[in-house]
Chains A and B, each alone.
Chain A
């Protein structure tokens, strides 16, 4: 009997495939895997403290923390007065911080402070207002300085 040339392969359905499926697994793998998995409790201790704390207790702690955080964020909006800290208190606090520092850091800070003092000039205070008169004074001083040196140079040239 001649095969029918119009015959088409029937459509493969997933149900017919089911029994034919196979995945290669190395021999003895499952025994090795079981042994390895049974070692997990020894290698990974369970969080004992965590397991003793009920979930609702953790939830309550989280909620309290969230409320505190929100309160801290909202509080400054309603705060109408600023916190006053006296200059004396601030200096005492800074002294304490300075004493607690590493000596090498203390030297660095002291050097930086000295440099700042030198570059800004002594006697400068942040609450002193800078005005044009002061600027003129300074420029006046520098003029005097230049004149002094110019005179000195003239003398040298003259000599």
Chain B
């Protein structure tokens, strides 16, 4: 992601009339990234599409309240991560499964013959066995390759705790993958 474009977005937000333009820039800059991030968390394409829509509605509604000193992409990722986690929790409640997430069940759209998708399937199954917060840390670090400082800003967790959480997540996932 381009930090220069983030600066442009922030500059546009300084003017009350620039919000629409700033939002358009956010959409073109982040919609793919946010979709991929959300999709890996909620798995199903249709669910991801709904969550992404909600994420961008939230971004638009709260754009005026965005603190100019905060990083725009950490702010967007925080909204997206919270929205995805809330969606997962709501889905759990609907299925009356208290506590842990329901074991991952590949959907019809997910059962692809493509090798890459099979590996992804296996990996996401392993990721979903982790606690929610650890899943989020893993997604942000492994897939998004965000630095710990940024993950810390998104999750409001210390970098030390994040490093430990990621380390345990990787060990556990590798264990599961190698068992299958």
Q: Which residues of A contact B (CB under 8 A)?
A: 11-14, 17-18, 20-26, 29-30, 33-34, 36-38, 40-41, 44, 46-47, 50-51, 55
Bound Cα distance from A21 to B115, whole angstroms: 9
Count of CB-CB pairs between chains A and B under 8 Å: 86
Selected A-B contacts with CB under 8 Å, 12 pairs: A11-B174, A23-B39, A23-B117, A24-B109, A25-B35, A25-B39, A29-B45, A30-B31, A37-B52, A41-B60, A46-B64, A47-B61
Nearest to A26 among chain B residues (CB) is B45
Q: Are B117 and A33 touching (Cβ within 8 A)? A: no
Size range of the chain B interface in the assembly:
35 or more
Q: Are A22 and B117 touching (Cβ within 8 A)? A: yes
Q: Are B174 and A33 touching (Cβ within 8 A)? A: no
Tell which of B20-28, B92-100, B151-159 binds the partner: B20-28
A118 → chain B closest CB, angstroms: 55
Residues from chain A with a CB closer than 8 A to the CB of B16 are 51
Q: Are A51 and B65 touching (Cβ within 8 A)? A: yes
As a 0/1 sequence over residues 142 to 180 of chain B, the CB contacts with chain A under 8 angstroms (1 = contact) are 100000000000000000000000000010011001100
Bound Cα distance from A12 to B49, whole angstroms: 31
Q: Are B57 and A40 touching (Cβ within 8 A)? A: yes
Q: Are A20 and B20 touching (Cβ within 8 A)? A: no
Nearest to A36 among chain B residues (CB) is B53
A4 → chain B closest CB, angstroms: 20
Cβ-defined partner of A25 (8 Å) among B45, B63, B65, B114: B45
B165 → chain A closest CB, angstroms: 15
Cβ-defined partner of A37 (8 Å) among B56, B63, B110: B56
Main secondary structure of the interface of B (DSSP, over half): helix
Nearest to A19 among chain B residues (CB) is B116
Q: Are B57 and A13 touching (Cβ within 8 A)? A: no
3 tightest CB-CB pairs across the interface, nearest first?
A22-B116, A51-B64, A37-B27
Is B128's beta carbon under 8 Å from chain A? Answer: no
Residues from chain A with a CB closer than 8 A to the CB of B28 are 34
Residue among A13, A17, A20, A37 having the largest count of chain B Cβ atoms under 10 Å: A37
Cβ-defined partner of B24 (8 Å) among A18, A20, A38: A38
Known: A12-B177, A41-B60, A46-B60. A55 touches B116 (CB 8 A): no
Residues from chain B with a CB closer than 8 A to the CB of A29 are 45, 49
Residues from chain A with a CB closer than 8 A to the CB of B119 are 17, 20-22
Bound Cα distance from A46 to B116, whole angstroms: 41
Q: Contacts A22-B117, A38-B24, A51-B16 given; 20 further ones with Cβ under 8 A? A: A12-B177, A12-B178, A14-B123, A17-B177, A21-B120, A22-B120, A23-B36, A23-B120, A24-B45, A24-B114, A24-B117, A33-B35, A34-B27, A41-B23, A44-B57, A44-B61, A46-B19, A47-B61, A51-B64, A55-B65
